Structure 1
């Protein structure tokens, strides 16, 4: 049983997400360590996949690097709204092939068996194709109360088939995904056995987290790693032994501005337990109920969340306008300068001016 101070546990979590002072060198290195890079089109500052990589690599990152890693080098692949390292495929595919859906979803698939066959046949004959190239021959419409899909059933069917490794995303035309049959997209992947694959995925999740609750629906790591206790926490933790081995080699902290969909923020209960940071994304709240802003980016300084920055590109995309920097605890002069410097660097990376919002 490893006994960790809260500072040590936070440092492990920050370093596992490549947010300490020692920056990674490239896109693939980031994806291999943190497991995935979230894709989201909300571009208040820049699309999520780019700000996630900027927060880690800094000025060494250019958007073209991600495109090259995915489309040219095939070192990354897109699945379930994220770019993931190709090294995960041998473990991911056998788990997907035995994926079970909830009864309502399976009933929809069964009712649209002919539609499924039509899509697979068309992709096999003419793929790769975008969803807009495929005909909707569905027999039954799906229940879309959340409003994700609209009346066309093709995107819904493609998503579900990708979760059973029958189709795969093989590229993009702008923001539109291009699909193909999985047997062609994943040709040559040497798959692991089902149980071994599950264990590998648990180890990779723990690698990305550094430390996680033993039984967590947010970060399911099972028996990966080694047991740990954290000072002041009653949780049963698992810790990555590789992270423990380098705990004393602390390179120090820095400021990171995190996209609201950054993986560091995904496990909200862990965020509150370790960092005492109760983060709520206010994007879907009415404006009058927002405290920090529509898409406020949390500010990580070292191993503490110290504030949130409400900033956005202006309509002409010529300025990064900072509406407010919300300090969770008052900044000292050094902390304020570090945060200001990171905002200046972000604006320079975007190729725009940094500007404070005008008082109304």
Structure 2
């Protein structure tokens, strides 16, 4: 059995290249989404919404947010559980939908769905006759309210829609502002047949590894999209890091040319914080939920990539009413040399141009 021996430098370059963050920029948005396998949807827009910020960081200021809107309207991309995916990839998820529909009664949510079967049929009937619709226009005829210790408590329509997505009955057909528009899944998803469930998981693992470059076979569970890759790829060890990894062999021994990039806090390069610490030595937390006095880097600090290193955080805010991109601080994890400072400055200026905002730097 082949076990590849990698330095941390090797591992970092594999990860950066796989995430389309080296000097070779992708040609178009669809190339980005197919390469990354997904764009996470998140409404926080302190600088820009995540899906747009991730796309800009790969494509540069030539990227227009209208490209993503058009791709969703044309059904080249589809939204599934707050992830935008290539439409052709839905075949990799349909088997899980069919499995969940037939799941054991003890599966979380199944008993609630059974108790609210009339409510379920009312929602599907309304969408069939009048969809796509926002959730507020759907009937709440539940017999047993949804109970939760979290924000979903008594949000019956929202919870019903989430379970109907898991079943493959409904889908996000578009958005009106931040509001999702819901419709019957058969009107939204391509008609491609589902792959057998085991085969679909294998392909998803392979595609995830191709997008990450290097990952653990097993990792802590994450909602919606795992961080691990099962038996995809080939085994590897990384110098100075405990345990074994899986690596995409197609990314080994390739030449590397890096660049500077400003990343979303949700970027897949560092979404797995443990991997980011192990491979990049990068310490990061999203601090918007912390009291101001306890923040080290800022409300929505953007990780800074230069070459194969995550070297700092940019504390910036897009003040759209004021027409400015305000940079409050550049936090250097390691002292920047002149070339790094210039490269980061160029990226900040490009971000301001893309946002069509004037740039305001620290005094």
User: Where on the TM-score scale, by shorter chain, does this alignment land: which range?
Assistant: over 0.9
Alpha-carbon distance between aligned partners in 2 of 1:300 and 1:143, rounded to the nearest angstrom: 43
Equivalent residue number for residue 135 of structure 1: 139
Equivalent residue number for residue 241 of structure 1: 249
Q: Which runs of 5+ in 2 are unaligned?
A: 221-225
Deviation sequence 1:169-218 (CA, Å, 0-9, x none): 11112221111122332252122111111111111111111110111234
1:59 aligns with 2:27: no
In structure 2, the residue corresponding to 1:263 is in which secondary structure?
coil
TM-score by length of 1: 0.93
Q: Is the 8 A contact 1:95 1:198 kept in 2?
A: no
1:211 aligns with 2:219: no
In structure 1, the residue corresponding to 2:150 is in which secondary structure?
coil
Deviation sequence 1:7-30 (CA, Å, 0-9, x none): 111101011111111111111101
Superposition pairs of residues 151-300 of structure 1, within 5 angstroms: 151-217=154-220, 218-244=226-252, 247-250=253-256, 252-300=257-305
TM-score by length of 2: 0.93
Runs of 4+ residues over 4 Å off in structure 1: 100-104
Q: Is the 8 A contact 1:25 1:60 kept in 2?
A: no
| CA shift in 2, pair 1:12/1:109, >3 Å | same
Structure 1 window deviating more from structure 2 (45-54 vs 181-190): it is 181-190
Equivalent residue number for residue 51 of structure 2: 49
Alpha-carbon distance between aligned partners in 1 of 2:333 and 2:73, rounded to the nearest angstrom: 41
Alpha-carbon distance between aligned partners in 1 of 2:265 and 2:271, rounded to the nearest angstrom: 9
Q: Is the 8 A contact 1:6 1:274 kept in 2?
A: yes
Alpha-carbon distance between aligned partners in 1 of 2:350 and 2:33, rounded to the nearest angstrom: 23
Among 13, 16, 21, the residue aligned to 1:14: 16
Alpha-carbon distance between aligned partners in 1 of 2:167 and 2:280, rounded to the nearest angstrom: 36
Among 97, 122, 127, the residue aligned to 2:126: 122
Quote the offset at 1:357 in angstroms: 4.3
Quote the offset at 1:108 in angstroms: 2.5
Quote the offset at 1:118 in angstroms: 1.3
Alpha-carbon distance between aligned partners in 1 of 2:343 and 2:190, rounded to the nearest angstrom: 47
Alpha-carbon distance between aligned partners in 2 of 1:21 and 1:307, rounded to the nearest angstrom: 19
Deviation sequence 1:75-120 (CA, Å, 0-9, x none): 1100111211112111111122213597553332232222112111
Equivalent residue number for residue 96 of structure 2: 95
Quote the offset at 1:256 in angstroms: 0.9
In structure 1, the residue corresponding to 2:269 is in which secondary structure?
helix
Alpha-carbon distance between aligned partners in 1 of 2:159 and 2:92, rounded to the nearest angstrom: 24
In structure 2, the residue corresponding to 1:341 is in which secondary structure?
helix
Q: Is the 8 A contact 1:123 1:129 kept in 2?
A: yes
Q: Tell me the matched-pair count.
A: 353
Among 348, 352, 363, the residue aligned to 1:347: 352
Deviation sequence 1:229-258 (CA, Å, 0-9, x none): 1111222111112222xx3232x1111111
Q: Is the 8 A contact 1:38 1:263 kept in 2?
A: no
Q: Which runs of 5+ in 1 are unaligned?
A: none
In structure 2, the residue corresponding to 1:24 is in which secondary structure?
coil
